[in-house]
Amino acid sequence: MSDSDLIVAARQAREFARAEFSTFKVGAALETADGTIVTGCNIENATCGLTICAERVAMFKAQSEGHHAFRRIAVVADTEAPTPPCGACRQILWEFGGDLEVILANLQRETGRHKLSDLLPLPFDSRLLQ
């Protein structure tokens, strides 16, 4: 799968976002080690605190479907500037996906590319629980 195909999948997932409160729709497409694409979108609710981001939806969906190894994730939002994963998403992506490549894009183009370790340089993970 090409980078542009992954970004297109994230853009398509964004269309299913439930963002009635913020109107900030986000889509994510997670590529597994075997090339499967698992998508997610943000889903808000009235309390806002129980809202879940697109990146976590994609990762939890992938886990629930038996995928445990990943290559990269594309995240798409309708912003001019890059929109990286929030802190909670960075933590979940790190714990379940490792040092993924994170591709950021908007509705027209790619806006950034990072290793997750650059976005989360001192992660809390199972190594600290030993």
Distance between CA atoms of residues 31 and 67, nearest Å: 10
Residue 53, amino acid: C
Q: Which residues are tagged catalytic? A: 55
